[in-house]
Amino acid sequence: VFRRNLVRNCTARGALFTTSGSVLCESNVFEHVANQPILLEGDASEWYESGGCRDVTIRHNVFRDCMRLFGKGMIQIAPNVRNLAGQRVRYHRNIAIEENEFEQRSTSLLYARGVSNIVWRANRTAAKPQFDVADCEAVKIDEMRPSPLFRSHMVVQAGKPLKVFGTGDGTAVVR
């Protein structure tokens, strides 16, 4: 459990999670983090020092003025795995990102590689949200609650827009 922390003025990442146990990242403020505020990584290629995450909930957090220097997404899920596309079972699984506030300007909110079952629901943003996902399965992104300036979101994979299918219940499925 990583709860009620102020993570401010970090030159590296804000928080790094690599565990096969459950992770709850809740009610934190990430402010002025130069790299990605949250990183789920894992090493199955070089040092073999950590494994994939199996049950992660990221909710009720505030992300303010982060990724000013580095990073590919406010929440970056990027395992170090050889032949990631060829994996039969995705490295990370069951990631819920919900009810967070992103006080950012034009940045990728989610960068994900090698994940099965990502749910993005009821998050708010002041910028036009972008998502970059590849080699992932079962990705569900809801309509979000953007500021009045932006009423849509874009999902990209390897620099190309993905198809987003409405499910009729206010959510979208990315394929």
Q: Give ∠ CA 67-94-108 in degrees, rounded to 5.
A: 20
The reported pLDDT for the residue numbered 151 is 37
The reported pLDDT for the residue numbered 144 is 61
The reported pLDDT for the residue numbered 119 is 95
The reported pLDDT for the residue numbered 97 is 96
Binned at pLDDT 50, 70 and 90, residue 91 comes out as confident
pTM: 0.80
Residue 123 has pLDDT above 50, yes or no: yes
Per-state percent for the chain, helix, strand, coil, to nearest 5: 0, 50, 50
DSSP 3-state assignment of 99? coil
The residue-averaged pLDDT of 108-130 equals 88
Mean pLDDT of the chain: 80
Percent of the chain exceeding pLDDT 90 equals: 38
Q: Which contacts (CB < 8 Å, 24+ apart) does range 5-12 have?
A: 5/29, 6/31, 7/31, 7/33, 7/37, 8/32, 8/33, 9/33, 10/34, 10/35, 11/35, 11/69
Cβ neighbours of residue 15 closer than 8 Å, sequence gap 6 or more:
2, 7, 25, 28, 30, 37, 38, 39
DSSP 3-state assignment of 107? coil
